[in-house]
Structure 1
Amino acid sequence: MVNIVNIRGAHELFQTVGSHSDHKEGQYHLEVLDGKVRWFHRNEHGETVFSAETVKQEIDEKVWTELAVTYDGHSGVSKIYKNGIMIKEEVSDAMPLSSDWGLFAGIGNFKGDRELKGYIDEFYIFNRTLNDSEISAIHSHCKGALASQIMHLRFGEVDGNVSIDSSYQGNNGYFVGTVTAGSNGTCGPAVQVATSKLNATSEISLRGSRFHNKPTDACTIALWVKLEDETGKHRLFYTTGGHSMHTHEQYELSVQEGAIYWIHHNEYDQKIFFVKTEPVVVKNEWTHIAATYDSTKEIAVIYVNGDIKEGANGAGALSEDWDGKAAFGKHFGSNEGYDFFDEIEMFSRELSPLEIRQMFMKCSDVLPYGMRSSIPNDKYVHLLKLLQKKNRSLRYRRDTQNQSQLIYMTFDRIAGDKVFDDSGYSNQGSLVGLSKLARDAGKCGHGLRFQGGYILLNGNTIKNKPRTGITISVWVYMDSIEGQQEIFQTIDSKKAVNKHGMYYLEVSNGQLRWFHRNEEGETIFSVETNKKTLLQKEVWVHIGATYDSESKKAIIYGNGEKIQEDDGYGYLSQDWDGQVSIGKFFDSSDSGENLEGREFHGILDEFYIYNRALSQVEISRLSQICDFRRVVLYYSFEKIHMERIYDQSGLSNIGKLINHSDIVDGKCGKGLNFSEHSYISLFGDEFRQKPSNAISVSVWLRLNTNRGRHEIFNTIGSRSLHKHDQYDFAVIDGCISWFHKDHLGKEIFKIETKPVCRPRQWINLIATYDSQEEKAQVYLDGVLVKETKGSGYLSQDWGHFAGIGLHYYENTHLNGAVDELSIFNYALPPDEVVFISTGSCNYVM
């Protein structure tokens, strides 16, 4: 980033001079010449490697500008970028770069005969050629002074009761009450904050009225925390105003009964955002929490241990009134427990998921195991059930001034034929024909099942219609992918020129098409996927479709990944006065009447329209807010090397074969025959994406005998309040046993069937549990054998033992062969159970 006071003359931004080259002239030159940008390099022998210079003035006086320059030694291409956009490209013979920087390498001119007055910030040098998207990403994250870190309390430098701010912004932390430094933290020393009393507050104060560079449009707060007391509200960070229209908290990042809350009200008491996670914070364990918000993207997100945990929409600028209080660590509990803090950081921009992941990894050695989520106590479970019954989805009306989200249909709120819009613009839809609320069948709560019906929107009343960019985002579940089916369309049959459709988002035999023509019949963009596998029958897929008139790109995304991109040109039609439909195609008759055509058959959920093109990161976040159902472990036993059994789920949950076992003919290719004293260790501490809310375990089994105990899956915790079995899935004297106890010792579910398992033949066993349905089930060969009620969340502590084929305490082993063993993070529905039990191979790939 550069901000030059006077652009006249030559201003050297970067230069190198060699110490042992054939000449003493400058080698690298990045300079501004009367506002033009020059990027030049000569090697050690004095040969010009590349030379690129802009044609016109690109740098204005006293204006922050982001410059980036690249060179590719393989292609000979040199480029100059301004504010993330390439403005100059030159091609020369490919030559290697000089490695002699011995005499001088720096900002400014070596001889000192060129003026350079102004400011430079965020100076990077990479030893590779960044691509266009990487350059653009740097620009989007670096916007002058707002890009900087505004506070960093490391607690390694404490002067009396003051923790020095390592960001050099002067935003020190002041210990109030009982706050003690010197505890063992995650990246060095930590501080412990005592429980506050009615007349004795303990916290780390920021002296909010003097805080420098308060966030206005975006922010990130990140910290490590460990709680000794899980009761009450633990305010990780909070602010109150001194001259606002209300006196309660404005920022609130808190932990309550293990759940994380991220809330903000502005000075006028308008709710800017509200995000809440499930219970994820475990008592007496370090957890990294990051909370972000960006007003331009209108998304607030909570990260736990480097991963996105929950997100919600927001709208509006952040309060700058911290004059009442701004502090970390205030909490009231039922005992004398401490809250421990380390590495508290604050930024005036939204950090990317990669940056937050890197921040977590920097100090993650303190963790004795991987990602986890905790289980709430009985009181909280009861409260959660009441909230779910009262209102399954907490969404808030928002200030819509200048926001880009035009339509947001959750399908949780439908009254009669009215489908409510939760964007705040009140762009409600009307149901026509056979459509109904798909209770508990959506991707995020309820969805809308289309059975020949559709939704009509009133295009005349839609404000801020897309002009320069658009995004449509939706979860799609198709009953069939055959033929053509319409997801979204606009058409104005009364138009003189273009009587046919304008926007089309449609499916044709599994392929997705995204198309727009304007009022004059000119095609603005047309992009179509060539991967039929993107959309599949009866599979949830997240679709994003965007167009940006500035970049002239139309893009289709599938499950957060870019699938297809094509060029477009021009601005978008402002005519939404005819039919605006979801789930139905219309055409025009010669007389200007609307003719109904193809329709959508399936379920839609979480339908958004924005009047700008969201980035891939934003599309990905929308897709992640509703967790994917997936397989987290899949052993086909086709991939075994020495003692390693390879996981084909994509998560690399590799198993270790203990003692010798024979490879035999399985149900689908190879199987594994367990000999005496053999089993598979799953490395429970390192197991990735343990199921937390629901689980299914599926296995093909051929027992040599059904007498005795044959353990399929067993876990024991290392950090729990008990050392008993947690997961226990076994065949005992022909009976199926499916049992789980959480880390607190609470029994979540327990099933014991009658003797149903036959020896010496392949049988399929599937055991499931769903905390939302409060139901555990056991299937034999696709038939439900027994079902029972359950309550609570699943243990994340597999630390002491996790294995297949061994019951740890009884030291009893499975006597027989297994094949196609899988663990899922959801309860398999009956149709998937039947499909697996038919013996279809590679069903999870």
Structure 2
Amino acid sequence: MNTLKLKRVTFPLQSVVVRSILFLGLIGNVVNAAANLDQGLIAYYLFDGNAQDTSSSGNHGTAFGGVTYVAGKNGQAAHFDGKTGYIELKNTLDGTQGLTFAFWVNNEGVIVGQNNGAIISKYDWRIGRHFLINTYDKKLWAHFYKTANGNVYYGDTICCAELEINQWHHAVINVIKNDIQLYFDGVKVQQTSREFSTYNPDSNVKTYFGNIFYGGEGDNNHFHGALDEFRIYNRPLSDCEIEELYSGNAVCNLPPLSAILTSFNAETNSAGNGIFVKWETTEERDSSFFRLWRFIKVSDGKYINPTLLVEKLASGNPTIYSYEDWSVESGKIYTYRLSEVEVDGNEVFYLDDSAEATAQ
């Protein structure tokens, strides 16, 4: 028997009225326990028609040259022409402790005469190098500099992820205590040890998207392509947070699924005076009991009048449960959904699966 795909949301055990309201509000709008992706977020650029920082920092950018706003991964994206386009941030970033960068990138290849393809940089040959993320040789690189003046520089570097031309990819440069990690489309592809715990602290060098100001006006380090959903953190991200940013699904802080729902059906009973509901579960490791809920489906596809029908004690073994619902009116469509109360008191709602029948 195939296992049904499940989404779930967990709430502390509450009154029937409160649970009904919560459950009704979730139908069609799945809400899972999520990580706080605003924690430590020091800059966030949606690039929806501008270079505004939507984080609480308000570190807005100003676009120069060949920067336009085009269809992106989500909404619009900032497009750099690879020759003259760049964005200058109002305030430079402090990367002394290392920063974490998470963003969508669409690389369009290097324009003839350009080299480093700088995505974001705090880098000046005269004053000092600080950090640089670039697309050199169609690969994604990240550099954090301990000291960097003139031709003498050293620091920590991580490479590489292959960037196919004209393809969107999600990248995360994750700086943790002893290592730098490179995630590509939600998967960790590289990890390297940090030689340095802090990096060049100079506050006189500006931060730019799309170019390196190599001793002044940069003329051969432009990025050619598009950037979207660009986040900068002053803390490391966890594996599940990175997965959330890539997939768009809430995957953090979810407890293990206690019971697996393998079937769920509703049909008119044999007497024709009610609806017979049946479901089957397995792996009831932490299940205490199940609740069966009924909704009325109305003409516009919405669900109304959530009603708790019955509670069934979990058996701890693969079990077939059933219930006959006689409190129905002929011609109405009824939808049934399940929740599970676990031994820790949390109630888990199975949101991807329902059973539906029309009363005779």
With normalisation by structure 2, the TM-score equals 0.53
Matched, 1:695 2:99: yes
Correspondence for 1:808 among 213, 216, 222: 213
Alignment correspondent of 2:232: 823
Residue number in structure 1 paired with 2:285: none
Q: How far off its partner does 1:652 sit?
A: 0.6
Contact map agreement 2:147 2:154 (CA 8 A) in 1: no
- Partners of 2:49 and 2:69 within 8 A in 1: no
Q: Partners in 2 of 1:540 and 1:691 — Cα distance? A: 22
Displacement of 1:538: 5.2
Question: Partners in 1 of 2:166 and 2:36 — Cα distance?
Answer: 38
Seen in structure 2, the aligned counterparts of structure 1 residues 702 and 717 have a Cα distance that, compared at 3 Å, is closer
Partner of 2:58: 652
Structure 2 SS opposite 1:667: coil
Quick one: which amino acid aligns to residue 816 of structure 1?
G
How many pairs align?
Answer: 217
The CA distance in 1 between the partners of 2:48 and 2:33, in whole Å, is: 28
AA of the residue aligned to 1:740: F
For structure 2, which runs of at least 5 residues remain unmatched after alignment?
A: 1-8, 20-31, 251-360
Match of 1:537 in 2: 33
The amino acid of 1:667's aligned partner reads: K
Alpha-carbon distance between aligned partners in 1 of 2:133 and 2:249, rounded to the nearest angstrom: 23
- Counterpart for residue 46 of structure 2: 636
- Alpha-carbon deviations, 1:520-563, whole Å to 9, x = none? xxxxxxxxxxxxxxxx835479xxxxxxxxxxxxxxxxxxxxxx
Superposed displacement of residue 660, structure 1: 3.6
Give the deviation of 1:794 after TM superposition: 3.8
Q: Which position in structure 2 is the counterpart of 1:709?
A: 116
Aligned residue for 1:836, secondary structure, equals: helix
What is the 5 A alignment of 1:294-373?
none
Q: In 2, Cα distance between the equivalents of 1:669 and 1:632? A: 21
Which residue does 1:777 correspond to in 2? 181
Matched, 1:750 2:154: no
Q: Return the alpha-carbon distance in structure 1 between the equivalents of residues 231 and 36 of structure 2.
A: 20
**TM-score by structure 1 length?**
0.24
The alpha-carbon distance between structure 1 residues 661 and 824, as it changes in their structure 2 partners (threshold 3 A), is: same
Query: SS of the counterpart of 1:752?
Result: strand
CA shift in 2, pair 1:639/1:672, >3 Å: closer
SS where residue 733 of structure 1 aligns?
Answer: helix
| Aligned counterparts of 1:774 and 1:760: Cα–Cα separation in 2 | 34
The answer for the alignment partner of 2:145 in structure 1 is 741
Residues 1:674 and 2:170 aligned together: no
Aligned residue runs from structure 1 range 379-418, under 5 A: none
Partners in 2 of 1:839 and 1:666 — Cα distance? 15
Distance 1:741 1:693 in 2: 11
- What is the one-letter code of the residue matched to 2:207? A
In structure 2, do the counterparts of structure 1 residues 742 and 798 end up closer, same or farther at CA, with 3 Å as the change threshold?
farther
1:664 aligns with 2:160: no
**8 Å Cα contact 2:89-2:208 kept in structure 1:** yes
What is the root-mean-square deviation in Å for CA atoms of aligned residues?
Answer: 3.3
2:2 matches 1:482: no
1:680 is matched by which residue type in structure 2?
Answer: I
Aligned with 1:725: secondary structure?
Answer: strand
Instruction: Name the amino acid aligned to 2:12.
Output: G
SS in 1 for 2:240: helix
Question: Do 1:748 and 1:792's aligned partners in 2 also have CA atoms closer than 8 Å?
Answer: no
Alpha carbons 1:693, 1:826 under 8 Å: kept: no
CA–CA distance in 1 between the matches of 2:75 and 2:236? 26
Q: Is the 8 A contact 2:129 2:148 kept in 1?
A: no
Shift of 1:706: 6.0
Q: Is the 8 A contact 1:729 1:739 kept in 2?
A: yes
- Secondary structure class of the residue paired with 2:135: strand
Deviation at residue 713 of structure 1 after TM alignment: 1.2
Residue identity in the other structure for 1:647: D
Kept in 1: contact 2:59–2:91 (CA 8 A): no
Q: Is the 8 A contact 1:633 1:648 kept in 2?
A: yes
The Cα shift of 1:658 comes to 1.4
- Check conservation: 1:727, 1:739, Cα contact below 8 A: yes
Q: Which residue of 1 aligns with 2:313?
A: none
Distance in 2 between the 1:663 and 1:639 partners? Answer: 5
Task: Tell me the distance in 1 between the aligned counterparts of 2:105 and 2:36.
Answer: 30
* Contact 1:701/1:763 (8 A) holds in 2: yes
Q: Which amino acid aligns with 1:662?
A: T
Q: Look up the equivalent residue of 1:752 and give its one-letter code.
A: C
Counterpart amino acid of residue 145 in structure 2: K
> What letter is aligned with 1:673?
H
Aligned residues with identical type, % of pairs: 20
Report the Cα offset of residue 823 of structure 1.
0.5
Render the CA deviation track for 1:171-227: whole Å, top value 9, x for unaligned. xxxxxxxxxxxxxxxxxxxxxxxxxxxxxxxxxxxxxxxxxxxxxxxxxxxxxxxxx
CA–CA distance in structure 2, aligned partners of residues 788 and 706 of structure 1: 27
Change (3 A) 1:691 1:723: closer
**In structure 1, C-alpha distance between the alignment counterparts of 2:36 and 2:137, rounded to whole Å:** 40
Deviation at 1:815, TM superposition (A): 0.6
Q: Secondary structure at the match of 2:117?
A: strand
Q: Which amino acid aligns with 1:483?
A: P
Shift of 1:795: 3.8
Letter in 1 for 2:133: F
State the Cα deviation string for residues 564-615 of structure 1 (Å, max 9, x = none).
Answer: xxxxxxxxxxxxxxxxxxxxxxxxxxxxxxxxxxxxxxxxxxxxxxxxxxxx
Distance of 1:815 and 1:540 partners within structure 2: 32
* Structure 1 counterpart of 2:33, one-letter code: K
Aligned to 2:136: 732
Q: 1:752 & 1:712 partners in 2: Cα distance?
A: 14
DSSP-derived class of the 1:709 partner:
coil
Amino acid at match of 2:43: L
Q: Confirm or deny: 8 A CA contact 1:684 1:798 kept in the other structure.
A: no
User: CA offsets, 1:295-318, max 9 Å, x none?
Assistant: xxxxxxxxxxxxxxxxxxxxxxxx
Amino acid at match of 1:727: F
- Which structure has more relative contact order (CA 8 Å, sep 6+)? It is 2
Label 1:735 to 1:744 Cα distance change in 2 as closer, same or farther (>3 A): closer
Shift of 1:804: 0.7
- Report the secondary structure of 1:705's partner residue: coil
CA distance in 1, matches of 2:96, 2:249: 28
Contact 1:691 1:824 in 2 (8 A): no
**Residue matched to 1:61:** none
Are residues 732 and 717 of structure 1, via their aligned partners in 2, closer, same or farther at CA, if it must alter by over 3 Å? closer
Superposed CA deviations along residues 748-769 of structure 1, whole A, max 9, x for unmatched, are 421122x611111111111111
Paired with 1:733 and 1:646, the residues of 2 have a C-alpha distance of 30
Distance in 1 (CA, whole Å) between partners of 2:35 and 2:229 is 21
Change over 3 Å in CA distance of 1:539–1:838 after alignment to 2: closer
Aligned partners of 1:684 and 1:800 also within 8 Å: no
Query: In the superposition, relative to structure 1, how do residues 789 and 631 fare at CA in structure 2: closer, same or farther (>3 Å)?
Result: same
Displacement after TM superposition at 1:651 (Å) = 0.8
Q: 1:700 to 1:798 in 2, by over 3 A?
A: farther
